[in-house]
Amino acid sequence: MLSQIIGELDAMLDANIRLFSKLRDESQAEANSHKGAMESRHDTFKEEAQYAVDNYNGKISSAGKEKTLLAAAAAAGHDNNMFSLIVVSIGGTPRAMFMSPVLGGEKITIDGATVDIVTMSSPIGRELANASPGDEFVLNGKKFIVEKITKMI
C-alpha cells in the first residue's frame, strides 16, 4: 500500500511540475509580446510577465526537490510516524491523516476514504511525529485524541 501512496504523491508532484511549466511558458510568451519599460516607460507588462516566469521556475525547482526528498525519505528507515496512517478524533469526529515529507495540506484517497496529508513541519505534524495511540493534545483550541497509528514502513 505504501508504494501506491508514494506513487500517488509522486504523480501529484509531476502534475504540479506540468502545470507550473505550462504557466511559465504562457508567461514567457506574454513577456515576449511586450516592448517593456526600456522602450516604453508605460509598458511594464514585460517585466511583470518575466517576474511570473521566474516565480514558476522556482516552483518547478521546488517540486523537483520534493520528488527527490520523497524518494529518499521512502528509502530510509524512520523511528517516528513518517509514512504512517494516523486516525485522530477531533471533538469526537474521526479524521484520517497521512504523515509525509511533502505535499502537506493536500488530500489523497486511501481505500475509498479521504485522507489529509500532514508534514512534520506543520503544527499538527509536530504533535503527531512521535505520538502513540491514546495521546491527547490541544491545537487551535481543539482537542485531538490519537486513535490509531498504522506504520507503513
pLDDT in tens, 75-126: 887 778 899 999 999 988 999 999 999 999 999 988 888 999 999 999 999 9
pLDDT of 53: 94
What is the helix (H) or strand (E) element at residue 92, kind and residue range?
A: none
Give residue 34's pLDDT band: very low, low, confident or very high (50, 70, 90).
confident
Q: How far apart are CA 21 and CA 63, in angstroms?
A: 11
Question: How many angstroms separate the Cα of 98 from the Cα of each of 1, 53, 64, 102?
Answer: 12, 33, 21, 11
pLDDT of 38: 62
* pLDDT greater than 80 at residue 44: no
Q: If you average pLDDT over every residue of the chain, what do you get? A: 89
Q: How far apart are CA 150 and CA 153, in angstroms?
A: 9
Q: If we measure between CA atoms, which residue out of 36, 138, 19 comes closest to residue 90?
A: 138
Q: If we measure between CA atoms, which residue out of 136, 133, 138 comes closest to residue 149?
A: 133
| Alpha-carbon dihedral angle through residues 59, 107, 66, 147, given to the nearest 10 degrees | 140
- Using a CB cutoff of 8 Å and minimum separation of 24, what contacts does 87-92 make? 87/146, 87/147, 87/148, 87/149, 88/128, 88/144, 88/145, 88/146, 88/147, 89/144, 89/145, 89/147, 90/142, 90/143, 90/144, 91/142, 91/143
